Amino acid sequence: MKEQLESLVGSMVERGILLEEALEEFEKKFIKQALEQSGGNQSRAASILGIHRNTLSRKLDEYKMHHVGRQRRGR
């Protein structure tokens, strides 16, 4: 995995992607995965991520990601 990450980072630097952009995209993907794994439960997702529930809520607002990971309910 370390080699894959190094290759990806090298490619991003060569393409001129800024650190702030890269960090934001990584964080969004990380949050999305945790929400999907938790079935949309934000408390569980925050625990998976190792952050406080309020921090996750703030990041979801910032990234406009409230729909991510929610399971649809049957009718």
Give the start-to-end residue ranges of the domains of the chain: 19-75
Cβ-based neighbours of 64, under 8 Å, separated by 6 or more: none
Is residue 34 within 8 Å of 65, Cβ to Cβ?
Answer: no
- Give the number of other CB atoms < 10 A from CB of residue 29: 10
| 56 or 71: which leads in pLDDT | 56
Q: What is the pLDDT of residue 68?
A: 74
Across the chain, mean pLDDT equals: 91
As a whole number of angstroms, the distance between CA 38 and CA 49 comes to 11
Q: What is the pLDDT of residue 67?
A: 76
Top-level class of domain 19-75 = mainly alpha
Per-residue confidence band for 75, with pLDDT thresholds at 50, 70 and 90: very low
As a whole number of angstroms, the distance between CA 36 and CA 51 comes to 16
